[in-house]
Each structure stands twice: as structure tokens, then as C-alpha cells.
Amino acid sequence: MLTLFKKIFTWWNQDTIGTRLKTIFFGKYAGSDSFGNKYYESKKGKRWVIYSEEIDASKIPVEWYSWIHFTQNRIEKEHNFKKYDWQKPHKSNPTGTKSAYYPNKKKNNAIEKKYKSWNSE
């Protein structure tokens, strides 16, 4: 019951009922990526994504990013999203999470001095 209310009243939990209805009636399935996101296209050419987990635009891999933004791309025309050996796997933006980059204060005393000067003790 709680998930039904989440679907009705919150837009930040995957898709809303309006998006679900639009997808059912007007959406043509275009494919999915390694994160489980599903991509759809309407007959008029509008494209959208339904995220598998939390909505975050940085979770769209580069192949699907070019597809959803109508970028002319060789990969888009082939629909064969082949990765090369030199390409790294896509990662979403980790800002604000535990896996975000923080400078190591033990090695870099200059950063510590800059921020320490702001303290008024």
C-alpha cells in the first residue's frame, strides 16, 4: 500500500503513474543498459528513460546518452553497443556519497592549513 502512495504522489521514486501510462500506451521499447534502465521512444520521436533505482541522470551510459539526446552517432545507428577494451565501465556521479573523492589530509598538509586558517578559536 505504501508503494502505491509513493508511485502516486512522488516523482523521485522511479516513474509516476502518468509516466507509466504514457509508456504503456505510447512507448515503444528501445532497449536497456547495464544498470537496468529501460529506454522508450514514441511514434512522434520523443525519447525517455525509466530508471531501475534512484533517478539520477548521471546513471545513463554514454551510448544511451547520445541516443536520448538525438546525437548523430555511429553507435546509435548500429544499435550494437559494443565496448572496446580501452573503455572503462560507466560509473554514476558519486558526489555526496561515501565513495566521493576527498583529498587525503595526511599527505597534503597544504589543504589542511588552508582550511585550518578559517577556524576562529
Per-domain residue ranges for the chain? 2-86
Q: Over the stretch 46-71, which tens digit does the pLDDT of each residue have? A: 999 998 887 888 888 887 888 888 88
Looking at residues 17-37, what average pLDDT do you find? 87
Q: How far apart are the C-alpha atoms of 68 and 106, rounded to whole Å?
A: 43
Q: Which DSSP letter does residue 87 get? A: P
- The secondary element (H helix, E strand) that includes residue 25 is helix 17-26
pLDDT for 107 equals 52
Question: 86 in helix, strand or coil?
Answer: coil
DSSP 33: -
Question: Residue 84: its pLDDT value, please?
Answer: 79
Q: Which runs of E-coded beta strand occur in 14-101?
A: 28-32, 38-41, 47-50
CA 103/CA 110 separation, integer angstroms: 11
* Model-wide pTM > 0.75: no
pLDDT at position 22: 86
